[in-house]
Amino acid sequence: MEETAKQTETFENDSLKVSVNQDPGCQVTFHIEVSPKGTGAAYKKAVKSVNKQVSLPGFRKGKAPDDVVLKHYKKYVDEEWQEVLLQTAFKESMALTQVFPLNEKSIKKPQVKKASKDEGAQLIIQFEASPKVPDIDPKQCSLPDIEKKPVTEERIENELKRIQESQTTWEDISDRTVEKGDAVTIKVMDEAGKTLFEGTKVFVRENDMEPWLIDQVIGMKPDESKVGSYNEAPCTIHLEGAFTSTPATLDDALAQKIGAKDLEDLTLKVKERLEKLEEGRVLDGKREALRQWILKTYSFDIPASMMQSEKSTRLAYFKRQLQKSEEDAKEQEAQIAAFSERLDTEVSDDFKLYFIAQKVAETEKIGVTKGEMMQELTYQMMNPYSLIDRSTDADEAHSRAYLAVLTHKVLNHLVDLAKTVSD
């Protein structure tokens, strides 16, 4: 995350003058000079406030003369005066500078350097501010004209074949070795016994299995292991199972089994789905181009506490996931170091997009529905790389899901407003 250089600005009106020091991480210091007019007004408010709280013989509550109140309760008036002075000066300073605290907890204990009814006051108030989010003009962005690929008959046939194979009937192979065209489940380990990869059933054929692995697997029997070579390094290949397949017949019965009226209707649905996926691919490309343009064009500071909290959360999650792997300690340390190195930029970019999305959504009246939230939560729970899982606090899960949906919708809205240009 880039560090914003220290900035100082001065604002003033009839009652006060405030110098604003802005440090990296949205750390702000108000140096406030209150005029005698301002301190005098605050003193009168303090006297009036104490007058309403105390009872004096011969006077109704709040109706005693100021000098009588001061004679008996000057200590309390002075204490109230400092409180009124700080609150009034801080409120006026925020209105004058348009710089506001991130939240109540971000305000540190104020300092009263000087306070006099006749000579004015000097106050120092430090706090972490809300970020100054810039206005976005998407019409200044030129997005690439991403070509939409046609949905050909070949693509439709390949998808129908995939559907057909998903309904395959499998039979174990136990009386012969693996041949080309069979399906297998395998596990590949390095010399130290660490699993390099293992997966579900995969066909022993081009486009489904790497050529080097096809050569190794053909001729093996189930539950057999052999030494091979992966990326020019020795490895052990264990054949966990081998299967023959009988694909389902591509007909009306299969179409009805998966929710279509007949084969013609299934073909039409496949075509529509592929067209929708293609539209999504084009939109994804434009959305990413817009995202990069925003991050390059608009720079602003993110509150340090938010950055630190989010970085800690992501690093802790990464470490938990890494512990589930079979990586050795040295490799884990290297991965943690690499992950930590890119955290600043990733977290800063995500927060910038969120704050911009929040501002655009408020202006353009873009909201998030309950249905969109539930869909996003379901997706996040199923995504192994998501920060949302069953152990996540409910409020945090909803907050993260809302952030994701809102940012996505706003980017789509901005894509519609941006220019598209050909190469």
Q: pLDDT tens, 215-259? A: 999 999 999 999 988 877 889 999 999 999 888 999 999 999 999
Looking at the structure, do residues 297 and 393 belong to the same domain, yes or no?
Answer: yes
Which CATH number does the domain housing residue 351 bear? 1.10.3120
Domain boundary among 71, 104, 128: 128
Query: Is 139 inside any structural domain?
Result: no
Query: What per-residue confidence (pLDDT) applies to 1?
Result: 45
| Nearest-10 Cα torsion for 120, 122, 126, 130 | 40
Which CATH number does the domain housing residue 109 bear? 3.30.70.1050
Looking at the structure, do residues 344 and 398 belong to the same domain, yes or no?
Answer: yes
Range of the domain at 240: 168-246
Looking at the structure, do residues 271 and 346 belong to the same domain, yes or no?
Answer: yes
Can you tell me the distance from the alpha carbon of 53 to that of 195, in angstroms, rounded to the nearest whole number?
75
CA distances from 34 to 30, 80, 409 (A): 12, 17, 46
Which CATH number does the domain housing residue 201 bear? 3.10.50.30
Contact 123, 402 (CB under 8 A): no
Looking at the structure, do residues 276 and 414 belong to the same domain, yes or no?
Answer: yes
Can you tell me the distance from the alpha carbon of 380 to that of 43, in angstroms, rounded to the nearest whole number?
56
Looking at the structure, do residues 239 and 272 belong to the same domain, yes or no?
Answer: no
Measured between its terminal Cα atoms, the distance across the chain in Å is: 32
Looking at the structure, do residues 233 and 368 belong to the same domain, yes or no?
Answer: no
Looking at the structure, do residues 122 and 172 belong to the same domain, yes or no?
Answer: no
Domain boundary among 215, 246, 277: 246
Looking at the structure, do residues 185 and 312 belong to the same domain, yes or no?
Answer: no
Looking at the structure, do residues 47 and 194 belong to the same domain, yes or no?
Answer: no
Nearest 5°: phi and psi at 24?
-55, 150
Looking at the structure, do residues 279 and 317 belong to the same domain, yes or no?
Answer: yes
Query: Is 363 inside any structural domain?
Result: yes
Domain boundary among 246, 275, 299: 246
Query: Is 159 inside any structural domain?
Result: no
Can you tell me the distance from the alpha carbon of 361 to that of 369, in angstroms, rounded to the nearest whole number?
13
**pTM score, whole prediction:** 0.77
Query: Is 260 inside any structural domain?
Result: no
Query: Is 412 inside any structural domain?
Result: yes
How many separate domains does the chain show? 3
Ranges in the chain, pLDDT < 70: 1-6, 69, 326, 423
Query: Is 151 inside any structural domain?
Result: no
Helix axes 394-417, 263-297, angle to 10 degrees: 90
CA distances from 367 to 124, 214, 363, 403 (A): 39, 51, 11, 11
How many other CB atoms sit within 10 Å of the CB of residue 263? 16
Can you tell me the distance from the alpha carbon of 232 to that of 352, in angstroms, rounded to the nearest whole number?
44
Looking at the structure, do residues 326 and 225 belong to the same domain, yes or no?
Answer: no
Looking at the structure, do residues 362 and 301 belong to the same domain, yes or no?
Answer: yes
Query: Is 261 inside any structural domain?
Result: no
Can you tell me the distance from the alpha carbon of 103 to that of 356, in angstroms, rounded to the nearest whole number?
19
Query: What per-residue confidence (pLDDT) applies to 423?
Result: 56
Query: Is 253 inside any structural domain?
Result: no
Nearest 5°: phi and psi at 317?
-65, -45
- Nearest CA-CA partner of 36 in 132, 116, 156, 95: 116
